A and B are shown apart, each in its own frame.
Chain A
């Protein structure tokens, strides 16, 4: 049990499809994050939510739409994606937003393939 659970583990979708990635954390954390991990590139922070409020949006295209209904759940809605969006999408959570104890706990990721 990792504390941060992501579903699905794998997803193949066409460019015209609409799908959603789900993340759930059981750690009582207040901040949640979406990262994109592409091969041979550093992790890219996409979105940050703190107490359900979006606090970061790192110039992510609008075809990615996050949703945070409560502090335990985070979604990433996908529509009209491009093949270059194929990557591993990682969700993470942390106790706080700032300060020394903002250690991030990660889920196992969703491997997304856009065809």
Chain B
């Protein structure tokens, strides 16, 4: 069975600095999708970025980028120029490409932005 591990329960970063959130996963599959979701205090889960395992190029979305290391089964999220609005819980999630929709979630990392 697939598992997703986020080893950092909490991270803090100074405003305007860069922070990296870690995520590792375990799977025997070769084709899958990886996601980072953000959950601010409003509680709504928002998709931040998505990576398809068959694509070698790391996904980027404005200030958010990932470092996808398929062999190491690592999928870290880098947030550049951190802003106060980035403060939230961040969840890493995995989904198999060839089965029905089933997201496997990590336990989350709380990101604190220091002004």
Contact = CB atoms under 8 A, between A and B. Distances in A.
22 contacts: A2-B44, A40-B108, A41-B107, A42-B104, A42-B105, A43-B91, A43-B105, A45-B102, A48-B101, A90-B45, A97-B100, A97-B101, A98-B100, A98-B101, A100-B33, A100-B97, A102-B95, A102-B101, A103-B50, A104-B103, A105-B47, A108-B44
Contacts of B101: 31, 33, 48, 94, 96-98, 102, 104
Nearest to A33: B101
Closest 3 CB pairs of A and B: A106-B45, A42-B105, A43-B105
Nearest to A94: B101
Contact of A108 (B4, B33, B43): B43
Q: Is the interface of B mostly helix, strand, loop or mixed?
A: loop
Interface string B45-89: 111001010000000000000000000000000000000000000
Interface residues of B, number: 24
A42 B100 contact: no
Interface of A: 2, 31, 33, 40-43, 45, 48, 55-56, 88, 90, 92, 94, 96-98, 100, 102-109, 111
Contacts of B50: 103
A106 B46 contact: yes
A98 B100 CA distance: 5
A13 B99 CA distance: 37
Contacts of A31: 101
A2 B9 CA distance: 27
Contacts of A107: 44
A31 B101 CA distance: 9
Nearest to B107: A42
Pick from B42, B52, B103, B107 the residue with the most CB of A within 10 Å: B103
A43 B4 CA distance: 11
